[in-house]
Amino acid sequence: MNARIEAFARDEAGNESKVGFIDNVFEKPFKSSRIVLDDKFINRVVPEILEHSPELKLAPPAEGSPEMLQAFLKINGELRTINADQIIAIAHKTVAAKLWDGPFVQLGNSQVEARFADHRTYFYNGKEVDRQVHLGFDLAVTEHVPVHAANSGVIVNARWLGIYGNCIIIDHGMGVQSLYGHLMSFDVNVGDKVTRGQQIGRTDSTGLAGGDHLHFTQLVGGRMVNPVEWWDPHWIADRIERKLREAR
Ligand SMILES: [Zn+2]
């Protein structure tokens, strides 16, 4: 794998510039996991998500009907894609200033239940029915634990967002945002300024979640990226803050 990665920019006067970056791409294996779907889970999550997702234009099917699994698959595929586009649209609300400082903070004392880019295969009645890639971290503590802002910024989403259920997105400026999914409640509103460590809500299992946990992901330009680096003080100091200083 030696694909050249380039950043391209064009200003309003038509000036163009292109720079290459990341010279070495290292292959990394992805973890794969099996998710076994049962009727209890599907009957719980599908009607609630459909009720909050008029964009799918799908009425809740009867419990136990074959349409219930079909609705689940539509949520897991089509709604997941719609939500990714909605998250990109929210990224346009980013401010030019850098509102954050230092490393982002992972949910305290949490157990990692799923990592970024885990390849998930879904089974129903012993048969493979779907495959998806999990673009975030699933962090579990106990039920309804407080969720804190991973860094300083402004709330740009505090409402239901499809598969992510009750979902907060914080804009940290310069296209950097963080997403908190499956929440029970919101302690903040859109437009509120938050500081790192401030409580913004509590965990739950709203949306497409098997149990109480926080789905956390880092966003850059509305694209989901691995939060591991953003949690790492050395990576932040060397790869972001040093480069921003040099560019000034
Ligand atoms: Zn998740």
pLDDT in tens, 122-136: 999 999 999 999 999
Residue 30: both structure tokens together: 């992805």
In the structure, what pLDDT confidence band is assigned to residue 1 with cuts at 50, 70 and 90? low
Give the per-residue pLDDT at 215: 98
Closest CA to 221 of 105, 50, 70, 88: 88
- 193 near 185, Cβ under 8 Å? no
Superfamily of domain 32-247, CATH level 4 = Glucose Permease (Domain IIA) (2.70.70.10)
DSSP 204: B
Residue 41: both structure tokens together: 């889970």
- Residue 5 reports pLDDT greater than 90: no
CA–centroid distance, 77 to ligand 1, in Å, is 14
CA–centroid distance, 116 to ligand 1, in Å, is 9
- Residue 111 reports pLDDT greater than 60: yes
Domain locations along the chain:
32-247
CA–centroid distance, 179 to ligand 1, in Å, is 11
CA–centroid distance, 8 to ligand 1, in Å, is 32
Closest CA to 102 of 200, 235, 246: 235
**What is the average pLDDT across 190-201?**
98
Tokens 């292109």, residue located: 18
- For 230, how many CA atoms within 13 A lie in the half-sphere containing its CB? 24
CA–centroid distance, 182 to ligand 1, in Å, is 9
CA–centroid distance, 231 to ligand 1, in Å, is 17
CA–centroid distance, 115 to ligand 1, in Å, is 8
CA–centroid distance, 244 to ligand 1, in Å, is 31
pTM value is: 0.93
Residue 39: both structure tokens together: 């009727």
Tokens 């990714």, residue located: 84
CA–centroid distance, 217 to ligand 1, in Å, is 9
DSSP 116: T
**What is the average pLDDT across 20-32?**
83
Residue 154: both structure tokens together: 């402004």
Give the per-residue pLDDT at 96: 96
- Residue 21 reports pLDDT greater than 80: no
Q: What is the mean pLDDT of the chain?
A: 95
The per-type count for the chain, helices as H runs and strands as E runs, is: 6, 15
CA–centroid distance, 19 to ligand 1, in Å, is 34
Cβ-proximal residues to 209 (8 Å cutoff; 6+ apart), any chain: 45, 165, 181, 182, 215
How many Å separate Cα 94 from the centre of its chain? 16
